[in-house]
Chains A and B, each alone.
Chain A
Amino acid sequence: MASRQFATFEVANQLFGVEVHTVQEVLSYSEYTPVPLAPPAIGGLFNLRGQVIAAVDLRVQLGMARKALEGQVMNVILRGDGEPVSLVVDRIGEVVDLDDDTFEPPPDTLSGPTRELVVGTFKLDGRLMLALDVNQAVDTQRVTT
């Protein structure tokens, strides 16, 4: 049975996951530089060992209000297309091995911005994990309504 590894994290009490190979690292960071006039999903910029990384606020991408970037905030840093980019999340979960047979397409009732970001649902013990489309999740030019 084919299985895949997912790194999981929570945003607004919903468990999300991305495939482990797309993740560069996970870290918490507290100093963000806001970028005025940037797309609303850009939470800010931060310094990752001398590299300037854009933090994408997953809440905004999911059609929710901005997350206040105060204190330590968890970042899932994705390798991205050519340059790393970070997803700001609420809490980091475990890395899980998931069999393909636990996968189902997103339920038809799921709509709105979340629907566009999600490729499917994994049924875990006692809760559901939504698998994110990494490229969509960090696309800040996407029109969010």
Chain B
Amino acid sequence: MEDLGEIVGEFLMESHENLDQIDRDLVELEQDPNSRDLISRIFRAIHTIKGTSGFLAFGRLEKLAHAGESLLSKLRDGVLPVTPTTITTLLATIDGVRSILASIEETQAEGDVDIESIIEQVNAQMNAGEAPPAAAPAPAAETAEAPQPLEETPVRPAPEPVENQRKPIGEILVETGAAQAQDVGSALAQQIEGDERKLGTILLDEGKAQPAAVSEALQAQTPKRSIADSAIRVDVDLLDTLMNMVGELVLARNQLVRGVMETGDATLVRSAQRLGMITSELQEGIMKTRMQPIEHIWSKLPRVVRDLSQSLGKQVQLVMQGKETELDRSLLEAVKDPLTHLVRNAVDHGIENPDQRIATGKGPEGTLTLRAYHEGGHVAVEVADDGAGLNVERIAQKAVENGLLRPDQIPNMDRRDIMAMVFQPGFSTAAKVTNVSGRGVGMDVVKTNIENIGGAVSVDSTPGEGTVWRLTIPLTLAIIQALTVDCGDQRYVVPQVAVLELVFIDGQSTKIEYASGAPVYRLRGKLLPLVRLDRALGLDVGADEGVYIMVLQADGRRFGLVVDRVLNTEEVVVKALNSRFKDIGLYAGATILGDGKVGLILDVSSLARRSHLTADAERQNLEASARAGKGAGSGERLLVTAVGERRVAIPLDTVTRLEEFPRNRIEHAGSREVVQYRGQILPLVRLSHLLGAYGEEPEGDTVSVVVYSEGARSVALVVDRIVDIAENSTTARRDAEEDGLVGTAVIQQRVTELLDVRRAILAADPNFYTDLENDELLVEA
């Protein structure tokens, strides 16, 4: 009996996957009605469901699947044309199958899902075309169609058995512009004449394509196959257990390495380093097992878009880019609903009716683009439509009506800040409420859900051209980018996603002021309310000078957190805190710091709430952020460092980590300086030497470095000091004549040089990029 349960469970899981695929394929088929490949694939999938349900004695399910299969076979044989109506009928059939499966999952029985009306619908479809009368009743069709052997169905056009989804390499090369169509053609002709070399090899041998391009094309070709064929199912609990064990292994490794270093035994040190390397790789590997391509949650969206646009009488084309982008499983789950909501909203409100579109000079068909990509330590997911755009005036008016803004605030506000009002609870500008959206619930829920997982939501829109909703999501829940800070004699951890910038308070040019007792700071002319971390934690309150302000944003509020010292950014593994600390509310969790001690992760939004920001202060804050936002625009974020007397900025997205190395750990390899780092030899380059800024070596036992990694390779740029993180909002920027720089700009009222990162990296490791390319080639070979 147990075994049967397992079989049924597997059947359910497999069928759900199949159904999702069928959904996608049907929607695609509607776009491309003549694709026999698609019909065959759908046919096969539904045939599998039918077969297994017969075997497991789910009679009703079998009957329904059979009806769908019959209709499909008519499409396949060209007896019936593929029309939107047939697609709708087939989708209804799939939904019926789904309901039965759901019922089986819950009650182990098929339940009383109404399959008769669906079957009737299917039969009506089959009769609608000039189907032979014999096919009219379903049972008759059954005998006619069921025994069809599967192998006959796919008609494969290619001479060699190409996987049904695999694109020919030649086609990829031509599409990406890496090879000429005629070269590919002649290479193909050679193959037909008996040349046994692979197509890519022929092109390479004749110098018609670049090795890198071919290897890229090969990679582009393979993933589809690997996902479909070489995957196994693993229990998530098992992965979690493994993950925990690897965490322990990492700690044990750290202790061991520390101990071994002290002994100074060269053989042991080597073994320990090797152990360290393997552990790091193992950790990375386990993390990867929890990653899934975002495609998993996107796969349901074509259906959503199709159904919704059809019911609204709109024409929408769905484009997906970057569906292989991977996210931690638990995050995918959390992102699913917000994303679906954004997509529905975009179809409902974003994209206009065909008439309206034509009236504004656009094509009748709107385009909805889903885009996912990596950015820094985050994944960005965008939902972009080419619709009418957000009506900023309407939003502003509504915000005033709802008391969220005062009328006099509006003229000073940045468009994007006004648009961000749509994320406020109870806010909807929809002229009419539909059953899809416009009820004022939704956007705020989207925002809350995304913020709960440490992400952020933003919106940008151009009138007449469309709207882009953007979700920024951390790569995993378990590991976050964080800044470590000192307060009192303790170290705390602040999630980096909340940090906008850092300001050092020297008491002279920058200082903390008091507005009737409430500490504030003038950030670019606007008052920023401050929260002293020591006071918030009930510790002894320290001085107002020589401290740092972390400008944080949470729950739409901007405030400054005063800490004694900001140390560095680190990737930390988040550990849940015991329930006995829940009531305090100030901590989002705990983590193990580099020295093995426990560090508390601060909960930024509750700090913001706890800071007794009065309604007035909030408004000021909002105003301030509106102004600040205006200046900032979409400038890139820069890491400002000090090199000698000069300030050098490095684009933040190229920075992997910031580290401090003890001076005595710097070793020499040839003429180069290197340091051992996470089981690797990390080449160092001193920016002061590179830029010719020789000056006095800064004192202290450690050097500050900026680590840059790509693939498995890393280099470290040595700077004198990390100054700040700033947004490059300036316009005064000129190209530098000096070597190693791409230009200069005025950042925070000071002239700052922009580093040519590529050059700096090559100075540290001339083989950095070439090796990377070679590695790729190796993969191909």
- Which positions in A face B, CB cutoff 8 Å? 31, 33-39, 42, 44-47, 49-52, 54, 83, 85, 140-141
Contact = CB atoms under 8 A, between A and B. Distances in A.
Interface of B: 244, 247-248, 250-252, 490, 537-539, 575, 577-578, 580-581, 583-584, 586-587, 590, 592, 596-600
A54 B578 CA distance: 8
Given A50-B244, A50-B248, A33 B598 contact: yes
B571 to A, nearest CB: 15
Given A31-B596, A47-B598, A50-B251, A37 B538 contact: yes
B538 A36 contact: yes
A46 B590 CA distance: 10
A35 B597 contact: no
- Pick the most buried of A45, A46, A141: most chain B CB atoms within 10 A of its CB: A45
Q: At the interface, is chain A mostly helix, strand, loop or mixed? A: loop
A52 B576 CA distance: 8
Nearest to B575: A52
Given A34-B490, A35-B600, A49 B252 contact: yes
Contacts of A85: 578
B253 to A, nearest CB: 11
A121 to B, nearest CB: 29
A45 B592 contact: no
A50 B592 contact: yes
Contacts of B490: 33-34
Contacts, number: 62
Contacts of B539: 36
Nearest to A83: B578
Contacts of B596: 31, 47
Contacts of A39: 580
A36 B537 CA distance: 5
Contact of A33 (B244, B583, B599): B599
A52 B580 contact: no
The 7 nearest A-B residue pairs measured at CB: A36-B537, A45-B598, A33-B598, A52-B590, A50-B248, A50-B247, A52-B575
27 contacts: A31-B596, A31-B597, A33-B598, A33-B599, A35-B581, A35-B587, A36-B537, A37-B538, A38-B580, A38-B584, A42-B581, A44-B598, A45-B590, A46-B598, A47-B596, A47-B597, A47-B598, A49-B252, A50-B251, A52-B575, A52-B578, A52-B590, A52-B592, A52-B598, A83-B578, A141-B580, A141-B583
Contacts of B578: 52, 54, 83, 85
Contact of A37 (B252, B575, B584): B584
Nearest to B587: A35
A51 B600 contact: no
Nearest to A56: B580
A54 B538 CA distance: 20
A49 B590 CA distance: 14
A3 B251 CA distance: 40
Contacts of A42: 580-581
Contacts of A51: 575
Given A36-B586, A37-B538, 8 more contacts: A33-B597, A35-B581, A35-B584, A45-B598, A47-B598, A50-B247, A50-B592, A52-B577
A33 B600 contact: yes
A39 B575 CA distance: 20
Contact of A49 (B248, B577, B586): B248
Contacts of A45: 590, 598, 600
Nearest to A54: B578
A61 to B, nearest CB: 13
Contacts of A141: 580, 583
A54 B584 CA distance: 14
A14 B539 CA distance: 33
Contacts of B575: 51-52
Contacts of A83: 578
Contact of B537 (A37, A44, A49, A50): A37
A48 to B, nearest CB: 10
A1 B183 CA distance: 94
Given A33-B598, A34-B490, A42-B580, A49 B538 contact: no
A29 to B, nearest CB: 11
A54 B580 contact: yes
Contacts of A37: 537-538, 584, 586
A88 to B, nearest CB: 15
A54 B252 CA distance: 21
B274 to A, nearest CB: 22
A37 B535 CA distance: 11
A51 B586 CA distance: 20
A119 B770 CA distance: 72
A140 B580 contact: yes
Nearest to A85: B578
A114 to B, nearest CB: 21
Contacts of A46: 597-598
Contacts of A36: 537-539, 586
Q: Which residue, of B251, B539, B586, B598, has the highest number of chain A Cβ atoms within 10 A?
A: B598
Contacts of B586: 36-37
Contacts of B583: 141
Nearest to B248: A50
